[in-house]
Amino acid sequence: MHQTKRAGLFISFWLLAFVGYSQENKQNVLTKKEIKQGWLLLFDGTTSAGWMKINGKPFPEKGWLIHDGLLTIDTATKGGDIVTTGEYNDFELSVDFRLTGTGNSGIKYFFTSYVIGGSLGMEYQLLDDAGASDNKLANHLCGSLYDIFPPDESIKKTAPLGEWNTARIICKGKHVEHWLNGKKILHFERDSEAYLAAVEKSKYKSEPVFGTVEKGRILLQEHGHTVSFRNIKIRKL
């Protein structure tokens, strides 16, 4: 093969490889495969579309920053928790999150108003396990169902502070799974004896029983610490 032609093919190959790599590694976008699987973005990387305050008022003007494709808690002001405008029941949720030192936040799901107990949601805990103050109980550590079930620490691998983690929550009927960085670290049934007993021992006193509701919103918790989010996406199951 002529050397010039061979060089041209070589360059073309690497250009195609680079374009493919870039497309797969863009943030806050869905791949063709994800679109086919039914995934939807809950954060577009540039606007607050699809999010509001927990009281139904518009997205807070202060307390949350949208910059460089990230949704970040601004600790200089109090913006409060934010929730999706839509409600979900059977779903798979994926969220990238980045913690800072002593960081504490959470991803709540099935967030709704209870007849007794106020507005509550089941919380996938986000925590700097080593440095945060709320690290004394196993069911308060990163990846736990907060105050109810601990994650499997023998499987859990959290990225170093300042690096990105991916939380995944799967809810199908009464079955729930918590995943962290590709590893399933917790699973349970929301109507099992073990679950009901753990709820009874927890801080959650509600009617109906905490976590047994059929649907609710997704919530990102503002807990006074700088935490960033990206690639927030969901699909119905």
Which of these ranges, 5-14, 54-63, 138-147, has the smallest mean pLDDT? 5-14
1 vs 85, more confident: 85
pLDDT at 1: 55
Encoding tokens for residue 205? 């006193």
pLDDT at 6: 52
Is the pLDDT score of 153 beyond 90? yes
Closest alpha carbon to 111 in 135, 127, 132, 88: 88
Six-digit token string for 6: 């061979």
Q: Which stretches of the chain are assigned E, i.e. beta strand?
A: 40-41, 51-53, 64-67, 70-73, 82-84, 91-99, 104-114, 118-127, 164-172, 175-180, 183-189, 217-220, 227-236
pLDDT at 14: 44
DSSP, res 141: S
Q: Specify the amino acid at residue 172.
A: K
- Quote the percentage of the chain above a pLDDT of 70: 89
Backbone torsions φ then ψ of 19, nearest 5 degrees: -60, -45
- Omega cis (within 30) before 160: no
Question: Per residue in 41-60, pLDDT tens?
Answer: 999 999 999 999 999 999 99
pLDDT tens, position by position, 64-120: 999 999 999 999 999 999 999 999 999 999 999 999 999 999 999 999 999 999 999
Angle at alpha carbon of residue 69, lines to 221 and 31, rounded to 5°: 100
Rounded to whole angstroms, the Cα distance separating 146 from 139 reads 6
H helices then E strands: how many in the chain? 3, 13
The token pair at 94 is: 């994926």
Residue 31: other Cβ atoms inside 10 A: 12
Q: Which of 237, 222, 235, 190 is nearest to 107 (CA)?
A: 222
Cβ atoms 185, 168 nearer than 8 A? no
- Longest distance between any two alpha carbons in the chain, whole Å: 79
pLDDT of residue 15: 40
Q: Which helix (H) or strand (E) holds 36?
A: helix 32-37
Rounded to two decimals, the pTM is: 0.90
